[in-house]
Chains A and B, each alone.
Chain A
Amino acid sequence: MPEDNNAPREEANASSAEAAKPAEPAAKITEQAQPAVKRTATRRVTKKENIAFSESLLFGKYSLKEVTVNDPSLANYIILVPKAFPNTFGRRKNRVYYVTHVNIIERLMNKLMRGGTGQKIGGKVIRTKGALQGKKVKVMHIVEDAFEAISKKAGKNPAQVLVNALENTAPIEDTTRIRYGGINYNVAVGISAARRLDVALRNMALASLIGAFKSKKSLADALADELVLAANKDPNSYAIKKKVELERIARSAR
């Protein structure tokens, strides 16, 4: 081991010319071998794997360049800059327009890092007792598993499924209270593009927590089910139910 570390330059110069030639077959091998090797604790990133990640495929598998956003109102806020592991380590937090710099898949992860539903659903508040709070790597594995399940189930690029689901579940109208002369009125208001995306992402995270609670489903499977349902505009999806309810109340309060 120490011999390798002491003399890296000579090997690197000699091997760089050689390594350039067998790059294509090597990349194919790593793609097949990845899932088995990936989770081991003491793993070194080899040179072959670096070549595979240099194309910046999401999790080394899915390309973000093919993904298209059809809704022009959300297009400015759905960020799809190619990254292998989308993580900014909270550097953008509390900036004014941090939303326009952070990758959409990282934002989904951030919404999943929560200690429960925070509101009553079916008479009870679901609590995960700190199982996910502050554990970004754990959540990253959950999202990776969910994306694998989606690509098997739907046969599409899972990032495209996520974008379609967000477009279908972003609400248009909301209600607020406004006070005129001592009496409160509920008034319908529009929703800005940034907030539409926030609400849609939050409902996705809530739906996966509810689906996995007291059932054999894992959190990743529940997330995958919800995303596929929402992308197909299925009325059984939790997020679509929420959206329809919000808009129905707002329509009556115009």
Chain B
Amino acid sequence: MAEEQPKQYDGYLAEIVEIQPRKTGMFGSIIQVMCKILEGKDKGRVIRRNISGRAKIGDMIRLGDTSREDKPINVK
């Protein structure tokens, strides 16, 4: 029912639940977080995502799509 309402902003709202200790990206600027989706089809699911920029637990982010999930970071 919530999907029928016209959305004010793009994307789906998600809350950061957990932050992984490792960093990725060429310059170490990317962090990996587990986030709980609060809107849309996949409401309530917890997925792993790469994000850029500074973040802490409890922050809200917006995701372009909620279907895909990123790979966990492998450290040799």
| A interface residues (Cβ-Cβ under 8 A, vs B) | 70-73, 75-76, 97, 99, 167, 172-174, 176-179, 187-196, 198, 247, 250-251, 254
Contact = CB atoms under 8 A, between A and B. Distances in A.
B29 interface: yes
A55 B14 CA distance: 37
Nearest to A100: B56
A188 B11 CA distance: 14
Contacts of A174: 52
Nearest to B25: A176
Given A189-B51, A198-B53, 12 more contacts: A71-B9, A72-B13, A188-B64, A189-B30, A190-B49, A190-B63, A190-B64, A192-B51, A192-B53, A194-B59, A195-B53, A254-B65
Interface of B: 8-11, 13, 24-26, 29-30, 49-56, 59-65, 68
Contact of B61 (A70, A179, A191, A251): A191
Given A76-B60, A178-B26, A194 B52 contact: no
B13 A73 contact: yes
Nearest to B65: A254
Contact of A194 (B29, B53, B65): B53
A76 B57 CA distance: 12
A179 B25 CA distance: 8
B43 to A, nearest CB: 15
A179 B28 CA distance: 12
Contacts of B29: 176
Contacts of B24: 178
Nearest to B50: A189
B52 A189 contact: yes
Nearest to A99: B54
15 contacts: A76-B59, A176-B52, A178-B24, A178-B30, A189-B52, A190-B50, A190-B61, A191-B61, A192-B53, A192-B55, A192-B59, A192-B61, A194-B59, A195-B53, A196-B62
A193 B61 contact: yes
Q: State the main secondary structure of chain A at its contact with B.
A: mixed
Contacts of A251: 64
A187 B71 CA distance: 12
Nearest to B56: A97
Contact of B52 (A71, A190, A254): A190
Nearest to A176: B25
Contacts of B60: 72-73, 75-76, 193
Contacts of B50: 187, 189-190
Contacts of A177: 25-26
A254 B61 contact: no
A189 B51 CA distance: 5
B34 to A, nearest CB: 12
A172 B11 contact: yes
B29 to A, nearest CB: 7
Nearest to A96: B54
